[in-house]
A and B are shown apart, each in its own frame.
Chain A
Amino acid sequence: MAAIEENQYRVRVARSASSGIATEFAVVLEERMTVLDALFSIQRNQDASLSFRCACRVGMCGTCAVNINGVPRLACRTRVKTLGTQVVSVQPLPNLPVIKDLVVSLEPFFAQWKKIKPALRPKDPASKELVRVPHDSNYARNSAGKRDCITCGACYGACGVKESSEEYLGPAAINRAYLRLLDPRDSAMKERWQALNEERGGIWRCHTQMNCTSVCPKGITLTDTITRLKRAALSPGQFENR
């Protein structure tokens, strides 16, 4: 069997105990190991008090989003070797309150999420009929590539507007609202538009920095969703006939 390449890395992790100042750990990692592997290695072999979140380890659940070398990414999907540097800096997601070390509270994220009424509000809740949404329907075509949000919070952490605005919805919430607006089964268009059009927190606070699009681990073109909504705002009634 071919030898697995191993490399020495210096992983700097922000710690609550030192008010956010990083502790540096020397870690030896195999070639294909990820930042999450590095964190586990540190926790098991060097410092059991290190706190971080993870669940699926395969980029599906969105739990392990952290700031890696200044950019919000999924720890389990970031192979350390691809960072191109020996020094890896891991910090909690920005724009969210830190609970401990790399663990942040997603309360503000989901508070914005709820503002746009994320759940489907069926036109006829008592109906027993299945609604068919074909793959070449408007819904399917317009929502292509936008349905994969895992609510990891990377976009929220990257957003320059979220740095200074508590009221701004954030890209993920806006994207979810867009999906619901497109959905032919939905009936809550008015409430969603109200939230999206809101002066202090709605889509108009987006200034097309596109940080969100750059960091989304699912490759969702979030700014595109927001600009679609901005263009659609001239005729919000278009979402009634889907």
Chain B
Amino acid sequence: MGSVIGWYLQRITGAALLLLLVAHFWVEHFLTAELRRGEITYEAILSRISNPLWQGIDIAFLLVALYHGLNGLRNILLDYSRIGAGAARFITGGLIVIGLVWAWWGIDAFRNL
């Protein structure tokens, strides 16, 4: 059953990332006049990112991207190596750990802004 869910999730997260990316790009580069002029500054970003709603969306974006990317990496690694079930579990476990650390690293960016 595990393989099925992973297969579906990779496609669902991919589609979600497409939408999130377009939205993210629009918000970061076209939402306000100054952004459209290319004036991306600390003040411009902070005014928006202090709002917990935006923080939540950005964190969700990060988590979806991490799942999609690291799951993709897992597929690559398990494909191109002649490995047994044990090594496969080790790689999967390692990627989960990397994902958790990376997620914390990103969420921590918003702490004490």
Contacts and interface: CB of A to CB of B under 8 A. Distances in A.
Interface of A: 161, 164-165, 197, 199-200, 202, 204-205, 207, 230, 233-234
B85 A233 contact: no
Contacts of A205: 79
A142 B97 CA distance: 43
A164 B8 contact: no
Contacts of A204: 3, 6-7
Interface string B1-23: 00110111000000000000000
Nearest first, the 5 A-B pairs at minimum CB distance are A233-B4, A204-B3, A234-B4, A230-B7, A204-B7
B88 interface: yes
Contacts of B4: 230, 233-234
B8 A234 contact: yes
Contacts of B105: none
Contacts of B88: 199
19 contacts: A164-B79, A164-B80, A164-B82, A165-B79, A197-B3, A199-B3, A199-B88, A200-B85, A202-B3, A204-B3, A204-B6, A204-B7, A205-B79, A207-B79, A230-B4, A230-B7, A233-B3, A233-B4, A234-B8
A227 to B, nearest CB: 10
Which one of B6, B7, B85 has the highest number of Cβ atoms from chain A below 10 Å of its Cβ?
A: B7
B23 to A, nearest CB: 28
Nearest to B5: A234
Contacts of A234: 4, 8
A178 to B, nearest CB: 16
Contacts of B79: 161, 164-165, 205, 207
A118 B7 CA distance: 26
Given A164-B79, A164-B80, A199 B7 contact: no
A165 B75 CA distance: 13
A233 to B, nearest CB: 4
